[in-house]
Amino acid sequence: MGEFVRVETDGAVGVIRLDRPKMNALNVQVQRELHEAAGQVGADEAIRAVVIWGGERVFAAGADIKEMEQMSYADMAHHSGRLQDAFKALANIPKPVIAAITGYALGGGCELALTADFRVAAEDAKLGQPEILLGLIPGAGGTQRLPRLIGPARAKDLIFSGRQVDAAEALAIGLVDRVVPAAEVYKTALEWAGTFAGGPALALKAAKEAVNRGLEVDVDTGLEIERLQFTGTFATEDRTEGMRAFVAKEKASFTGR
């Protein structure tokens, strides 16, 4: 358990909880602890789905600008790889992941939300990539994950302008998937994650990898990735159980094996 990031559990749902007052600024230590948390929830077989949660007040307002201001080019050349490695680890958690967004998700905070498979936002949430206003560009996946999610033109609008979008616009452009009252964000994310917790863990892992890897390659290569993942599910106990239950007209009881 880190100083600012800890892993909690709610049944079979793991919660990566950010807690660095006041705004969950993503300094070097928080980035390292997020990387460690991603490894922990990914390796724990008892955890079947994951929620990333910054608390009732804010998801994450972005990088720690005071810390970054002191970094030289050489410093950032060294650090930027570790920053991206941390966010890659989150994006590659082999389980369904939901970001529960309250308050601000800006800059690195928005990029953190982009590592999740789904995003639930509060009605008063604000999201954006304001790095351009600092003379920078997004450095933790914003120029890559954002256009893949909402399309290149909309992504360029947010990145070039640095403007913030409210929850309604975020929902309209596909940046978030659900908008609920702020008091219901965490509960909604937990309940949504819970719908995956009893599913076939290896098939869910395969589906996530097929989609994510397929977005990085041409269609023919993506189809081959799908074929291999699809074939691999036939080696699982859950595939046997799922088909048995279907034929018997029963509800499958998956074990994640």
Catalytic residues: 111, 131
Interatomic CA distance for residues 53 and 16, integer angstroms: 6
Interatomic CA distance for residues 32 and 61, integer angstroms: 17
Interatomic CA distance for residues 143 and 132, integer angstroms: 12
Copy the structure tokens of residue 33: 């602890």
Pairing state between β 126-128 and 164-166: antiparallel
Start-to-end C-alpha separation, the chain: 28
Residue type, 253: S
Interatomic CA distance for residues 29 and 1, integer angstroms: 12
Q: 109: which strand partners? A: none
Handedness of CA 227, 232, 235, 241 (dihedral sign): negative
Omega prior to 66 cis, within 30 of 0: no
DSSP annotation of 13: E
Copy the structure tokens of residue 2: 């880190």
Give the number of residues written for the chain: 257
Instruction: For residue 209, give the nearest of 41, 95, 46, 111 by alpha carbon.
Output: 95
Copy the structure tokens of residue 7: 């892993």
**Contact in structure between 24 and 11 (CB atoms under 8 Å):** no
